[in-house]
Amino acid sequence: MGLFTKTDMPTSAEGALPGRSEPLSIVSTHAVNGSSMLAPFPAGMERIVLGLGCFWGAERLFWQMSGVFTTAVGYAGGYTPNPTYEETCTGQTGHTEVVLVVFDPKRLALDDILRTFWEAHDPTQGMRQGNDVGSQYRSAIYTSSASQMEKAQESLAAFQAQLSAAGLGEITTEVRGDVPFYYAETYHQQYLHKNPNGYCGLKGTGVVCAI
């Protein structure tokens, strides 16, 4: 398989870790709002998957939004089925750390979710976020419908225009549709709520992680 650096990614399933056929077993109840993190979700709900660096602090940003039914952290964008955290951190799964956001579009506009996403991290950093270096920290939007894809692309263009006007860099955010989401281990779910003195914490509008 060769030697990998933190920012390397496999280019095919054959070059990635094999993973496993069965999903990781998790506690299905959201530790903050008591909703189910597992499908089926109530009728009318939509889902979008977002990667914006370390998923511990990122998840909290979205479960606090009015109109969000549930959130969960996991892995997406790569090749390895049902990966573990340790496997994802090697860079050999191709996945990035992500947050699943299930929301009621009648109560919360996707535009507002995307605005929170853009403003909560630096989407120009490529295979890193702040001091966290590696392909598992790359910025990503994984949509679940054609209308979501259109909104995501529009919001990226609008945010890029603002960055360019300010003399800042090019957005590296990966935008794709129909990407499988794999749940992370239970001890990662709603991490900041259950472990306020844990490895990651909110500081201003960002997340500070001690690895």
> What residues form DSSP beta bridges with 202?
207
User: Is the separation of the CB atoms in 153 and 20 below 8 Å?
Assistant: no
Q: Which helix (H) or strand (E) holds 47?
A: strand 46-52
Q: Calculate the alpha carbon distances from 21 to 9, 52, 175, 202 in Å.
A: 21, 27, 26, 35
Q: How far apart are CA 190 and CA 32, in angstroms?
A: 7
Rounded to 5 degrees, what are φ and ψ at 137? -110, 10
Which residue's entry shows tokens 């529009």?
154
**Of 141, 143, 116, 136, whose CA–CA distance to 206 is shortest?**
116
Q: How far apart are CA 90 and CA 17, in angstroms?
A: 10
Q: Please indicate whether residue 54 is annotated as part of the active site.
A: yes
Active-site position among 54, 89, 200, 209: 54
Q: Calculate the alpha carbon distances from 183 to 85, 131, 163, 192 in Å.
A: 10, 24, 33, 17
Torsion of CA 39, 60, 143, 19, to 10 degrees: -70
The set of catalytic residues is 54
